[in-house]
Structure 1
């Protein structure tokens, strides 16, 4: 929806106001609008703060020819200043500033949330922005404006030399004279006239630096007959024409009543414009908000009020800006359910945002209720779910940010790998076991993770383990998504009964944890390289049978561990990866075995994973082929026999 046409009609009418009673030098040298953005809510406040700032500046300009104000708080804070050139009379200064207020409104945030603007008239200057710029001498928006090439009846080379000299004089003399100086060099048709003005809030050294830069940049305009340097802290102009007054207190003869009348007209129209802007912006943003609320109500139904009042509901635009619009530089990783990005909220809080591959609109009520339930699951070894966004164009989950990335990256990523000592590995395994025990046995919800692996174990600033993505299976009911039904997990970590028959119990997580434990201690992946004859599970079992388990411990540890501790931990890993789920311990028992020195039972043979085919090698006492089964490529249909 565009901005109302009558607003632009008003601007059109104002452009025809003729300044025939005096010369306030109201020609626009440049208008520069920033491209910084803000929210729709900020835009309304920002516009209102602009109007208040202009109202506050007007009496300052009238009384002292310059002024500055600060309006608003937080993200909508606005800083503004204005100043007339030192040679302008009071009446001309008032007229020039009134024109500035009208001309600069096109920089204000209507549809696009621009956050700053500055306008240079030949007689005055106005700027507003969202940061305190008052003592700023130079900026990247500074520019030089050159006039058209002028033919001289006199000596063009002489004019260029005179203009260069007058510019030099201005840059030297103005800082010595309260930041303002006018003058000329030469005579006849080769005379060059010039004016330099620093803004009131610059000190002498900043003024000199600004004008030195202006003198350098304006030289590019020569030998043209007109040039202007427009810097954040100063203004410089040279010309073939004498455009300035000799005295700042000078008044032109005649026309004072007409000038006063024009000031009244401009002041009145400016106030009318302000009223129109307030009404229009309120109506515009109000209608847009109402339209958004209607769409949300249609999507969410009776749940709309509950979601909008909930602390779990995050605004999509807020999350979008928090990640710099999901810029690739903020991407933390990608999993089976979506991509994860780092984000920073307006209050400075760092979060992790998962962009789900699947839209939840078809079951939005169930999805939000499940988020509500899972967000109540708190444990020191679980990544906390903070909330979600379900009213935008895609579904997002919001988690606490865990700074040290995943265990996978620290152990096996060539770019991020670092040496993790035995004690660190041991503590990470104990923390992971405690987190799983909480999910299985202590939480109000019965949560089976289904995808325990190195990549889902994150590490905080103290290298404490935090399990990620727990409860995702609850968020995606199998009959409502395009997720593959029946089996969800990562090959190599999946328990045989789950992989083969789809039988899902807590013991499937126990198996996955056992695989993770063996990987962490051995420093090798479960999905071994093709040149290796067998999986790491096979290797560990063989060394267990020969009572030489310490041989398989990660060589990067350089023997800095106790062999009896390594043998004990690896034996626990074998207990967790036994083929029969009934023989595997529950996670609370795993925690107990890891943290005390009591006797642990002997494991039975695990279901080995052949590294070349990536399919289970079935121990005969536990498995038999399905009738008429066929092996094709990397898949095989097998059935787990009930050991009872």
Structure 2
């Protein structure tokens, strides 16, 4: 961490006592969500600021590496559609991470647990897709060092008070040198969002994040989960379902009823074409 060229200096160091008080001793009523790496709690700092505190579930060397990696990556990022790391606590056996609090849950919940409180109109979905695209483009092309996220999915996209997207969870992300074209690495990610090329070759490229983003777009279009039951009781991948519907000109039959009400057929078709390009299995053909 000391080699982080001053990146850690931007992150405030919190005391373990401070964060215990903020989260009411990590009260289970304060739990915002649980991920692979840890549990996220809602907290209130002494100055009244509401924050999210991530605490590891177990003392584990792999998790420790991911927590430190997230500090390293997020301390170098400043983008309105990427969650901000406010600081960390290094007094505990496993670091605690402190983020800005994002109040409206995840994009996964917006799409799949629709109710009156969660607006799911086409305009909101289209804006969210554009915001996530902006964040990924920044990570790949505009950050001080290029960054591959490596776990883009709807449950890692948070929504603020105005339902603006905030990409989160950088524990498995990797920074690369500008002239690098790929990472050869153990296959990590979430089934249903994994780029098949990466799965087969263990080579992660920009295209791998773009593929995962394509799956998110299809979720936004269809309201279906990345792995879902379509018709029969057999679970299938959303991508193959979407691609076959596109080939058979049945796209509008699979569009979510919530957005099917909007008279925006041309926009829906245009976005579906973008998703299809993101999901193109030969990444070299569609880099434009």
* TM-score where L is the length of structure 2: 0.84
Distance of aligned partners of 1:554 and 1:329 in 2 relative to their CA distance in 1, 3 Å threshold: same
Equivalent in the alignment of 1:385: 85
Equivalent in the alignment of 1:536: 238
Distance of aligned partners of 1:416 and 1:535 in 2 relative to their CA distance in 1, 3 Å threshold: farther
Distance of aligned partners of 1:554 and 1:366 in 2 relative to their CA distance in 1, 3 Å threshold: closer
Q: Per-residue displacement from partner, 1:556-582 (whole Å, max 9, x unpaired)?
A: 234213111111101111111111222
Distance of aligned partners of 1:364 and 1:487 in 2 relative to their CA distance in 1, 3 Å threshold: closer
Q: Per-residue displacement from partner, 1:248-281 (whole Å, max 9, x unpaired)?
A: xxxxxxxxxxxxxxxxxxxxxxxxxxxxxxxxxx
Question: Which is bigger in relative contact order (C-alpha 8 A, separation at least 6)?
Answer: 2
Equivalent in the alignment of 2:53: 353
Contact 1:432 1:466 survives alignment (8 Å): yes
Query: For 1:539 and 1:369, how far apart are their aligned partners in 2?
Result: 35
Query: For 2:69 and 2:55, how far apart are their aligned partners in 1?
Result: 19
* TM-score where L is the length of structure 1: 0.39
Contact 1:316 1:391 survives alignment (8 Å): yes
C-alpha displacement of 1:385: 1.2
Query: For 1:501 and 1:449, how far apart are their aligned partners in 2?
Result: 18
In the TM superposition, 1:11-50 aligns within 5 A as none
Contact 2:227 2:236 survives alignment (8 Å): no
Q: Per-residue displacement from partner, 1:282-312 (whole Å, max 9, x unpaired)?
A: xxxxxxxxxxxxxxxxxx9x99xx9998752
1:439 corresponds, among 139, 142, 152, to 139
In the TM superposition, 1:250-289 aligns within 5 A as none
Say how many residue pairs are matched: 275
Q: Per-residue displacement from partner, 1:48-69 (whole Å, max 9, x unpaired)?
A: xxxxxxxxxxxxxxxxxxxxxx
1:422 matched to 2:143 = no
Equivalent in the alignment of 1:582: 284
Query: For 1:365 and 1:559, how far apart are their aligned partners in 2?
Result: 46
Q: Per-residue displacement from partner, 1:126-165 (whole Å, max 9, x unpaired)?
A: xxxxxxxxxxxxxxxxxxxxxxxxxxxxxxxxxxxxxxxx
Equivalent in the alignment of 2:220: 520
Q: Which runs of 5+ in 1 are unaligned?
A: 1-299, 476-484, 590-644
Contact 2:70 2:170 survives alignment (8 Å): no
1:318 matched to 2:1 = no
1:557 matched to 2:259 = yes
Higher Cα radius of gyration: 1
Say what the alpha-carbon RMSD is for the aligned residues.
Answer: 3.2
Q: Per-residue displacement from partner, 1:610-629 (whole Å, max 9, x unpaired)?
A: xxxxxxxxxxxxxxxxxxxx
Contact 1:411 1:419 survives alignment (8 Å): no
Q: Which runs of 5+ in 2 are unaligned?
A: 176-184
Query: For 2:7 and 2:206, how far apart are their aligned partners in 1?
Result: 32
Query: For 1:361 and 1:380, how far apart are their aligned partners in 2?
Result: 31
Contact 1:549 1:566 survives alignment (8 Å): no
C-alpha displacement of 1:470: 2.8
